[in-house]
Amino acid sequence: MTKITYRKAEKHEAGLVLEFIKDLAVYEKLAHEVVATKADIEDSLFGENPKAFCVFADKDGETVGFALCFYNYSTFQGKPGIYLEDLYVRSEHRGHGIGKGFFKYLAQRAVAENCGRIQWWVIDWNEPSIKFYEALGAKPMNEWITYRLEGDAIKNLAEKE
């Protein structure tokens, strides 16, 4: 039986992180939205003040999946949480427990770091992932509406008097 190992990404792998981001974007039909560069990844994940972290899954010496996360905070719990920004397993390696292994890795990290929750979004048409998450015991947060400010909207707001 093949063993899957999970490990933290290292700075010299910033290009591989970006490759997985682009692969995920293609899968989600959002490739046109990727503007991140290798330098952006190096700075935000491995720079002086990292804003996120990445975990890789390796199978037989090949990196086959990634999870990219950052910390958030629950004022109600008074604890940090882990926000799972991206999770992607290459198609030919799906169905072998790699995704579940990522969640176990993150759950162990959350317990060790006294985090109150792990949160993420899933695109509404991704029924296989939704079923997978629910099988893990995750619950949809349907009562919340997601909002976003980005690009010019942020700049315009910042400049208002």
- Domain extent, residue 86, equals 4-159
Q: What is the pLDDT of residues 102-116, one digit of tens each?
A: 999 999 999 999 999
Give the active site residue among 27, 83, 88, 133: 133
Q: What's the whole-number average pLDDT of the chain?
A: 95
pLDDT at 1: 66
Question: Domain containing 130 — which CATH number?
Answer: 3.40.630.30
Q: What is the pLDDT of residues 30-54, one digit of tens each?
A: 999 999 999 999 999 999 999 999 9
pLDDT at 36: 98
pLDDT at 161: 81
Catalytic annotation present for 133: yes
Sheet of 4-8: strand order equals 4-8, 53-59, 62-74, 79-89, 118-120
Structural domain count, the chain: 1
